[in-house]
Amino acid sequence: MEEVTVIETESDVVNSAAVAEEQIPQKKQRKPINQQKLQDNLWGWAFCVPLIIGTVWFVYIALVMALMLSFTNYTLNRGSMMEYLGNFSQNIVKDPATGAASPFYWYKEAFTYEIGTTYKMNEMGAHLFNTVFYMIGIPIGMVLSMFFAVCMSRDIKGGNIFRVLYYLPCVASTISIVYTFKILFETTGVINQLLNIDLNWLQLTGNEAETWNSLNNTNKEGAFYNDPYWCQGLFQKIVIIVMQVWKGLGGTIILYVAGLSGVNAATKEAAQIDGANGWQIFWKVTMPDLYPVIFYNIVTSVIGGMQIYMEPVLLFKENYMTSGYVSLIWRYGLNGLSASQARGAAYGMILAVIIFVLTMFQFYLDGRKKD
């Protein structure tokens, strides 16, 4: 056979070398370090680390410890909490009736423990009802704040002065606000004079507390007519709702004013050209753009409303007619007077679950709206 001689030209050799170089993996070149960006990141982490540590220690670790304590019979006189939790399996609470381990004993107690003499009611249910009742002020406050925000967003003289005046209650101390409302709602106060009535809004629990029978001079049977919880307690809760709405109005107004400044002016102008009136523009243009602010206010207001504690206690002291749910956590878990701080931990876990469910439900409704 004849031999075939392959003659490679210079260009073929160059191309072959180029292909070989392309197949060899190139080492990644290190980018030069941006000193300014590195410094900014370090300062950012320096400010974030204390918050991260505080959140992990005082929220997440504390939540886990409270959950474990709720299954035990821990009290403040039992020494170190960490040592107590170290023997967790040996310290699970026991049912006094049977002596058997019953980790959910405090949860059962929360749903079954009753208070009252003549008319019984569940203690947790009474305080939870008070808390939910106070949340009536959330929609009232949102409607009022929306109204004032729309008025303040218009070009009127002294608009900034009104914003400052409405925001003042937000920076005032809670004690001063409580003292002011005590003066307003006392028997000879301004509210009774304006309404032309002689109602004792601030009467504490006791024999002089009003019931529907004593108020109307009737003698009907039943807890609703004879238990002051449903009469005097109702008046006292109305005072707290009014105070809460007035106190929180300024902060919500500021958020709505900021939201209104971001409403698309071109869309509003187009709606006016198409013949839409002010009411239609508000509902069809302004409200959709304000939805993120409204959703934020609802979520934060519900979470804050479920944790109300200071205002009812300062105004009416601790009592089942006005105290919120958090009062149970304080009474059993933090004041050192109860038989078991583990019971307060159980109440705290129940509240955490309630807030979590309510928040998830709101986000679920938000997701359906976007879909």
The pLDDT assigned to 139 comes to 94
Rounded to the nearest 5°, which phi and psi values hold at 188? -100, 20
List beta partners, residue 101. 94
Tens digit of pLDDT for each residue in 190-215?
A: 888 888 888 888 875 555 678 898 88
Q: Average pLDDT over the chain, rounded to whole?
A: 84
Q: Place domain 135-324 in its CATH homologous superfamily.
A: MetI-like (1.10.3720.10)
Task: Give the model's confidence band at 296: pLDDT under 50 very low, under 70 low, under 90 confident, else very high.
Answer: very high
Give the whole-angstrom CA distance, residue 109 versus residue 100. 16
pLDDT at position 243 is 94
Q: Which of 174, 163, 324, 330 is CA-nearest to residue 254?
A: 163
Cβ-contact 270, 296 below 8 angstroms = no
Residue 30: band (very low, low, confident or very high) from pLDDT cuts 50, 70, 90: low
Which DSSP symbol is given to 201?
T
d(CA 346, CA 249): 33
pLDDT tens by residue, 47-57: 999 999 999 99
Mean pLDDT of the region 36-53: 89
In angstroms, rounded to a whole number, what is the distance separating the alpha carbons of residues 239 and 204?
Answer: 13
Torsion angle (degrees, nearest 10) of CA 29, 34, 35, 38: -100
Which among 164, 341, 365 has a CA at the least distance from the CA of 254?
164
**Spans of all domains in the chain:** 36-110, 135-324
How many whole angstroms separate alpha carbon 312 and alpha carbon 325? 11
Beta strands in the chain (DSSP E): 114-115, 121-122
Q: What is the mean pLDDT of residues 31-48?
A: 82
